[in-house]
Amino acid sequence: MAATGIESRLEGLGIALPAASDPAAKYANCVIANGFLYVSGKGPGGKPKGKLGRDFTTEEGYAYARLAGIEVLAVVKEALGSLDLVKRVVKVQGFVNAVPEFEEHHKVLNGYSDLMLDVFGEKGVHARSVLGAISLRDNLPIIVDSIFQVE
């Protein structure tokens, strides 16, 4: 059977979603409340370790942000059964593990934002904020949490 909707778009982008990763501590991967799906912070698969501006370039950070987005999509699919039930991406917050001199946090998080636009089209346009962090759990380069409006 051929894929339809968002699954077809993922195939066209060459993206195969992994199984949703387990939470890193005592919290839920996501919570659905009043038509919104709140996804806990997710980092890139493969667990890279290091800081932007020292261990990784902005371009590598962009790729890690995109991978974090794929992890988020896996959680959304597990929670909803289908990404077609996403009405829109509402809010994204990124935390970039960076040296104090690093100034391209926004360019790093574009990796996540571009993925949401590629996958959901206009429904992927979202509000967002990005913050630099002196450290993140497991020394991940980026962690992203998200809010989706869902059916």
Question: Which domain CATH number covers 84?
Answer: 3.30.1330.40
Rounded distance between C-alpha atoms, residue 70 and residue 73, angstroms: 5
For residue 135, the enclosing domain spans 32-150
Query: One digit per residue, pLDDT tens: the chain, 151 residues?
Result: 456 699 899 999 999 999 999 998 999 999 999 999 999 999 999 889 999 999 999 999 999 999 999 999 999 999 999 999 999 999 999 999 999 999 999 999 999 999 999 999 999 999 999 999 999 999 999 999 999 999 9
Q: What share of the chain is helix, strand, coil (3-state, %, to 5)?
A: 40, 30, 35
Is residue 85 situated within a structural domain? yes
CB hemisphere CA count around 103 (13 angstroms): 1
Instruction: Confirm whether pTM is higher than 0.85.
Output: yes
pLDDT of residue 134: 95
Residue 142 to residues 13, 42, 45, 89, 138, Cα–Cα distance (Å): 22, 8, 11, 19, 10
pLDDT digits (tens, 9 = 90+) for 88-131: 999 999 999 999 999 999 999 999 999 999 999 999 999 999 99
Is residue 10 situated within a structural domain? no
Is residue 11 situated within a structural domain? no
How many domains, in total, are found in the chain?
A: 1
Q: Are 104 and 70 in contact (CB under 8 A)?
A: no
Is residue 124 situated within a structural domain? yes
CB burial of residue 35 (10 Å; 0-12, 13-18, 19+): exposed
Rounded distance between C-alpha atoms, residue 17 and residue 98, angstroms: 27
According to DSSP H, which parts of 56-146 are helical?
Answer: 58-80, 105-120
Give Cβ neighbours of residue 59 (< 8 Å, ≥ 6 apart).
none
Which amino acid belongs to residue 12? G
Is residue 14 situated within a structural domain? no
pLDDT of residue 24: 87
